[in-house]
Amino acid sequence: MSAVSTPERLVSLRNISKHFGEGTTRVDALRDVSLDVTPGQVVALLGPSGSGKTTLLNVIGCILEPSKGRMCLEGEKVYDNRWLRSDLRRLRLDKIGFIFQFHNLLPFLDATDNIAIVLELAGLGSKEANARAVELLEYLEVANRRAALPAKLSGGEAQRVAIARALANRPRIILADEPTAALDSARAGIVMDLLRKLASEQEAAIIAVTHDEKIFDRFDRIYELRDGRLDSGSDRPN
């Protein structure tokens, strides 16, 4: 998988705010958040429960509409106080991969088919979809489990398959919500090393919400949200 030329920023937010409700019931979940993430960068979002981390991830993933602000993804302005794209589903499919705390693999499909089904839904033929699935499983060093059902996979193996599924359509932006919380220290380290490899080799931007202190040293930059406000970030701990 060869690297390609990229815009300077894969994710660029300017003064993004999000509130729920109005009047006395209004809750400001995000307050004037600005953030840039560049190709090859792996960043963490930290903060206490209710600080806005998942809200921010869902805004970047074009799942949740901001209340105001501007957002560019992979060089394309997609939000400027309103959505500039009519088909957000296609935008997500083309630009964004999602990884969750629990792998959410379909229990009745083997590892290969859990990836191939995403490609088939995007319009790829069955043969091509299976070939791409196997390529990804090989890239993530779990091809020997290609025929295994999720129940037969270890936690680390299942998360690798979930990562492969997230990469199926070659997105350059990967959003991860507590990707290692269900894993022990050794497996968490392996998964984060794979994500760092992916960011470097594919020139992807990875943004992860996490509370997992054992993986802090795997991030290039760590940001903290408190009461909907994002700090300026700090470099990876030594």
Q: What are phi and psi of 13, to 5 degrees?
A: -115, 140
pLDDT of residue 236: 65
Residue 158: count other Cβ atoms within 10 Å of its Cβ. Answer: 24
Q: Kindly calculate the radius of gyration of the chain based on its CA atoms and give it in whole angstroms.
A: 18
What pLDDT shows up at residue 152?
94
pLDDT above 80: residue 23: yes
Asked whether residue 17 carries a pLDDT value surpassing 50, the answer given is yes
Only one residue has tokens 């991830």, namely 57
Instruction: Give the model's confidence band at 141: pLDDT under 50 very low, under 70 low, under 90 confident, else very high.
Output: confident
Classify domain 11-105+156-235 at the CATH topology level.
Answer: Rossmann fold (3.40.50)
Question: 236: helix, coil or strand?
Answer: coil
pLDDT of residue 39: 94
Q: Cβ(176)–Cβ(195) under 8 Å?
A: yes
**pLDDT given for residue 4 in this prediction:** 40
59: phi then psi, degrees, rounded to nearest 5 = -70, -50
Q: What pLDDT is recorded for position 130?
A: 92
Q: Across-strand partners of 98? A: 175
Taking residues 191-199, what's their average pLDDT? 85
The whole-model pTM stands at 0.85
Q: Which among 37, 87, 28 is positioned nearest to 60, based on CA atoms?
A: 37
Look over the chain and give the mean of its residue pLDDT values, rounded to a whole number: 87
pLDDT of residue 3: 40
CB 223 within 8 A of CB 230: yes
* The pLDDT value given to residue 81: 94
pLDDT band, very low/low/confident/very high, at 148 (cuts 50, 70, 90): very high
CA-to-CA distance for 178 and 166, rounded, in angstroms? 15
Q: How do residues 94-128 score in pLDDT, each as one tens digit?
A: 889 988 877 789 999 999 999 998 888 878 898 99
Spatial separation of the C-alpha atoms in residues 21 and 198, rounded to whole Å: 39
189 Cβ partners below 8 Å, 6+ apart? 214, 215, 218
Question: What does the domain layout of the chain look like in residue ranges?
Answer: 11-105+156-235
Going by pLDDT thresholds of 50, 70 and 90, the confidence category of residue 1 is: very low
